[in-house]
Amino acid sequence: MKLEWIEKTINKPIKRETQDDGRIRCWSKIEEKNGKYLRVILLEDGETVHNAFFDRNFKET
């Protein structure tokens, strides 16, 4: 996992939503990984990365 992919996902997500617990989910398409979608979970402060992983179930709408 490259830091630049995480930064791209946080700064220019294709989708962003807030969970019930206040954490923020962001997605972006990573062309270097054959177009897979990266999901980054941020804490409530909107800056601290809680988790980042490729989301096999995400569908761009």
Over 90: is that where the pLDDT of 54 sits? yes
Could you give the CA distance from residue 31 to residue 51 in angstroms, rounded to a whole number?
20
Over the stretch 10-49, which tens digit does the pLDDT of each residue have? 999 999 999 999 999 999 999 999 999 999 999 999 999 9
Task: Judge whether 59 lies within some domain.
Answer: no
In a domain, 12, yes or no: yes
Residues pairing with 26 in the sheet: 16, 40
| Structural domain boundaries enclosing 18 | 3-54
pTM of the model: 0.92
Residue 22 phi/psi, 5° resolution?
95, -15
Residue 9 lies inside a defined structural domain of this protein: yes
Number of domains comprising the chain: 1
Residue 1 has pLDDT above 90, yes or no: no
Give the closest residue to 59 by CA, choosing from 21, 3, 14: 14
26 part of a folded domain? yes
